[in-house]
Structure 1
């Protein structure tokens, strides 16, 4: 489906937090877009304080939904790599392996590799969690999510991914996946969070990026040599989970 077709389809139905909108009730802009808009004159003085209450309610709802989740790992990957792609089976196997070792699986709740991870977790009898987001083209929560929370604001959702995760496992993906990856690296690098494992799955896919980080960022002193150790690259799903477990165990000592 082309982008214009997706946008037209999205206007027929959208999930905005707990509210479902259809037809003409679907706004042309997202909640994030309206929040980040400068507005005209001093209008924002009257609107933004009320937005703070909505933001607060999203934090409270997210915390309440996930507080008793237990040990979990956030799994990221493309919404565009669907069943039949090799990465789909890898995501399923990673989720199954996580469940075998007592972890819940957290994804963005959408299609593609997120669906695969939720599916693997559910089929293995584990907790399958989806953190959805309001988008101009509605993805919807995939059918394999057992515990799902829909967010209006990206930054609230990002907090949930980090707060309740023992580690991150990152499969091939686009801008959204890269966003989550580099945010996690930055939080660890700057000491904003305790170091936790960040695993990249697929040496062929990530090789070019890692080479650029080494030969450009590190070579010019834009990051430290030790920062290169923040990323661990594997091909094997079992190895990915084993690394998460090993680092988590070291940090617990």
Structure 2
């Protein structure tokens, strides 16, 4: 078996010339790797089915990247929920209301572009602030009317590429009662957060007024998952469970009150903030979260050299720490504490 590293040097040179002839200069090295991987699949003798999966996935990802690109600077929230929910149900109205509340605060709403909860969210946000990532199914063959109005939708063949795009671009998530698909998406979000494979983001489980759907899930998690020792006792604490539209919208925006973004530089974790904490506040963070560190202390710091080289959020104050990477799932606790500092901005913010 060969791999992409076995692509002959002369072929690699031809690929680089092809890229240059196409006028591509930005990230040309990554484009070359992408093309070399395609050639490598041919060298491997990959089956036609494997090649069809590969080409379809890349084609869908390119289409999705192009859909989202014009809105890169706008914060987005993805709303998951059942396609079977009817407009006369309270949870439908609650979904529309939370989407409207977030759109009023400058957020765009991303959905699976189908009926039910997806349509409720799009109606609440309005066509100008809605984006759709639909799945091609025999019984759900076109986006709902709100999404279709401005053609802000990309259709996917594969669930895995669709799920990638529903998660990748968003700064927050609202899950509304639904079936297998909704629960799959919610548990994948929790897995990504627990394992540190995705940056921390707020996750809200929204129910209808006095609803019990998520309460039942929470009992199962407490009794079976935590009780059975297969997750940590605080793994579900990152989630806000509520039947209040106002509380749901606040939980999404308040997560970004002071916290802005993060970056790993080697073993060091950099948290970028909107307002610099005081000495006393940094000391308090160390006292509260020192047990999460592999070594050293949480410290205020100037931008690290790789950040300077990349011109990466250089205007923002920073906290730098050697976080124990086995405890990365607890990072949301530090972020919540940072947002609660007295030096934090007085009101919730929208994500950068």
TM norm structure 1: 0.79
Structure 1: which 4+ aligned runs deviate by more than 4 Å?
none
2:133 to 128, 131, 145: 131
- Asked if 1:204 corresponds to 2:219, the answer is no
Q: 1:81-103: CA deviations, max 9, x gaps?
A: 11111111111101110111110
The offset of 1:126, in angstroms, is 4.3
2:248 to 232, 240, 244: 240
RMSD of aligned alpha carbons: 1.6
| 1:94-133 equivalences in 2 (<5 Å) | 94-122=98-126, 126-133=128-135
Q: How many residues in Structure 1 have an aligned counterpart in Structure 2? A: 209
- The 1:195/1:81 distance shift into structure 2, 3 A limit, reads same
Between the aligned partners of 1:219 and 1:186, the Cα distance in structure 2 is 18
Q: Give the SS at the match of 1:82.
A: coil
- Asked if 1:152 corresponds to 2:157, the answer is yes
Name 1:171's counterpart in structure 2. 176
Q: Give the SS at the match of 1:115.
A: helix
Name 2:238's counterpart in structure 1. 230
Between the aligned partners of 1:250 and 1:221, the Cα distance in structure 2 is 34
- Is the CA contact 2:99–2:122 (under 8 Å) kept in the aligned structure 1? yes
Name 1:12's counterpart in structure 2. none
Q: Give the SS at the match of 2:153.
A: strand
Between the aligned partners of 1:238 and 1:139, the Cα distance in structure 2 is 34
Q: 1:30-58: CA deviations, max 9, x gaps?
A: xxxxxxxxxxxxx9713322431221111
The offset of 1:139, in angstroms, is 4.6
Structure number with greater Rg is 2
* Higher RCO (Cα < 8 Å, 6 or more apart): 1
Between the aligned partners of 2:201 and 2:253, the Cα distance in structure 1 is 10
- 5+ residue gaps, structure 1, are 1-42
- Asked if 1:219 corresponds to 2:227, the answer is yes
Name 2:65's counterpart in structure 1. 63
The offset of 1:250, in angstroms, is 4.1
Name 1:195's counterpart in structure 2. 200
- Is the CA contact 2:114–2:140 (under 8 Å) kept in the aligned structure 1? no
Name 1:53's counterpart in structure 2. 55
- 5+ residue gaps, structure 2, are 1-44, 261-272, 274-352
TM norm structure 2: 0.57
| 1:180-191 equivalences in 2 (<5 Å) | 180-191=185-196
